[in-house]
């Protein structure tokens, strides 16, 4: 069992949960017992998510590149989303080592990887919202010219990456690799803040996380997909088609909520606890919150591996293109390709939805 100082125990929570200044770390009276098995489990989770995300998102990017002539606006958003998820997943092996041990990669990588993870996180969330808006425009606002949306998609993606980069700058500027000699000679990657600015920094960062990184994009997705689903249901007479379309839309929203809501709740509880809003603070409660942060962070990080399945692999156009490429490379036979096409011909969704998206 690994005994870690309470405040220092959050050093392995690299998901921008900010840390107190050094003097608070050394003065903290409580300690949290984190089982070594838990650290191993979280490390293994990161590695598995890394492998699945790299494979899935790389395939998505490759297929999108092969669809250069027939790419829709949603396809472009999906390609950028896959890039964001791929960049996010590339940082996971470093955090896996950090969770199991301590930060061994120095200040430069501390800044670079923290900034890269923040930028890819924000860009991914913003792109999810953009996809929901694009589906709304394509299905609900059918009078919107397709050429107009294509003209704007490049600018929108550029604005998304620029905004995500700007939101990651504070972490890049503040994060450092700090060796805590009085705490088992462990090195942490965290924001090097003074006692006077620590609380203000924590509030600002977490408010941004909760609003721009979760609640606002979720609100956009819920509104857009609700309107989209209502329009699709009115235009469909076959109940099976309605249920199939609804399953996809629900999967889009539920995956985001299931992966990120627990993490946001845990961070909110931790923030309220640190601010004294939850009554008397005990070491037992601190321990519970710390464990919750570990677990929910692992759940949240799996979202980058889930996205390729939700936004691409369940899309008929994507599957057709992927199987065609596999056939060209000799990985599947012509008979398998023909059998799939015969089967898919009996279970198509509405023509309009199929022509405007590879995900819905």
Residue with tokens 């430069």: 108
Q: What pLDDT is stored for residue 166 in this prediction?
A: 94
**Distance separating alpha carbons of residues 213 and 205, to the nearest angstrom:** 11
Torsion on CA atoms 22, 24, 30, 33, rounded to nearest 10:
-30
Confidence (pLDDT) at 223: 93
- Looking at residue 55, what is its pLDDT? 93
96: Cβ contacts below 8 Å, ≥ 6 apart: 42, 43, 46, 47, 50
Ordered by where they begin, the domains of the chain are 2-356 (1.20.1070.10)
Quick one: 285 exposed, middle or buried, by C-beta within 10 A (0-12, 13-18, 19+)?
Answer: middle
The tens-digit pLDDT sequence of the chain (360 residues) is: 333 333 333 333 434 444 444 444 444 445 545 555 577 888 899 999 999 999 999 998 988 888 777 778 888 998 999 999 999 999 999 999 998 888 999 999 999 999 999 999 999 999 999 988 888 888 887 755 555 667 789 899 999 999 999 999 988 988 888 887 665 678 888 887 765 566 677 777 888 888 999 999 999 999 998 988 888 877 766 555 555 656 667 788 888 999 999 999 998 888 888 777 777 777 888 888 888 888 898 899 999 999 888 766 676 777 777 778 777 777 777 777 776 666 665 554 444 444 444 444
The pLDDT, as a whole number, for residue 75 is 84
Q: In the prediction, which pLDDT does 353 show?
A: 44
Residue 11 has a pLDDT of 36
Residue 10 structure tokens: 């959050």
Query: Which stretches of the chain are DSSP H helices?
Result: 6-9, 22-27, 36-66, 73-90, 92-100, 106-139, 146-174, 195-210, 216-235, 239-274, 283-301, 303-308, 316-328, 334-344, 351-356
Question: So what's the pLDDT on residue 25?
Answer: 45
pLDDT at 63: 86
Residue 87's nearest CA partner among 56, 119, 55 is 119
Burial 257-268 (b: 16+ CB within 10 A, else e): eebbbbbbebbe
What is the rounded distance in angstroms from the CA atom of residue 76 to the CA atom of residue 153? 8
pLDDT at 240: 58
Q: How many CB atoms lie within 10 A of CB 146?
A: 14
Give, to the nearest 10 degrees, the angle between helix 239-274 and helix 106-139.
140
pTM over 0.75, yes/no: yes
């Amino acid at each position: 069992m690994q005994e870690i100082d309470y405040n220092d125990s959050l050093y392995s929570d690299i998901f921008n949960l900010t840390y107190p200044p050094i003097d608070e770390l050394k003065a903290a009276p409580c300690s949290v017992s984190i089982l070594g098995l838990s650290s191993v489990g979280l490390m293994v989770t990161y590695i598995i998510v890394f492998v699945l995300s790299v494979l899935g998102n790389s395939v998505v990017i490759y297929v999108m590149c092969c669809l250069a002539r027939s790419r829709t606006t949603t396809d472009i958003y999906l390609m950028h989303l896959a890039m964001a998820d791929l960049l996010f997943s590339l940082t996971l092996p470093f955090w896996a080592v950090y969770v199991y041990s301590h930060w061994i990669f120095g200040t430069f990588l501390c800044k670079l990887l923290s900034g890269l993870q923040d930028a890819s996180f924000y860009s991914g969330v913003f792109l999810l919202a953009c996809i929901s808006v694009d589906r709304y425009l394509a299905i609900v606002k059918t009078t919107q010219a397709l050429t107009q949306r294509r003209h704007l998609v490049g600018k929108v993606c550029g604005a998304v990456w620029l905004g995500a980069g700007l939101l990651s700058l504070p972490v890049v500027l503040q994060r450092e690799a700090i060796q805590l000699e009085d705490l088992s000679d462990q090195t942490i990657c965290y924001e090097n803040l003074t006692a006077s600015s620590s609380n203000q920094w924590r509030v600002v960062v977490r408010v941004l996380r909760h609003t721009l990184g979760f609640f606002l994009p979720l609100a956009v997705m819920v509104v857009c997909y609700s309107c989209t689903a209502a329009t699709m249901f009115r235009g469909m007479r076959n109940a099976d088609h309605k249920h199939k379309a609804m399953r996809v839309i629900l999967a889009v929203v539920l995956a985001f909520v299931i992966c990120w809501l627990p993490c946001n709740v845990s961070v909110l509880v931790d923030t309220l606890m640190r601010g004294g809003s939850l009554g008397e603070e005990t070491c037992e409660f601190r321990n519970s919150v710390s464990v919750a942060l570990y677990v929910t962070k692992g759940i949240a990080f799996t979202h980058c591996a889930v996205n390729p399945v939700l936004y691409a692999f369940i899309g008929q156009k994507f599957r057709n293109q992927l199987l065609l490429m596999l056939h060209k490379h000799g990985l599947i036979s012509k008979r398998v390709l023909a059998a799939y096409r015969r089967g898919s011909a009996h279970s198509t969704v509405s023509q309009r939805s199929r022509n405007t998206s590879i995900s819905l």
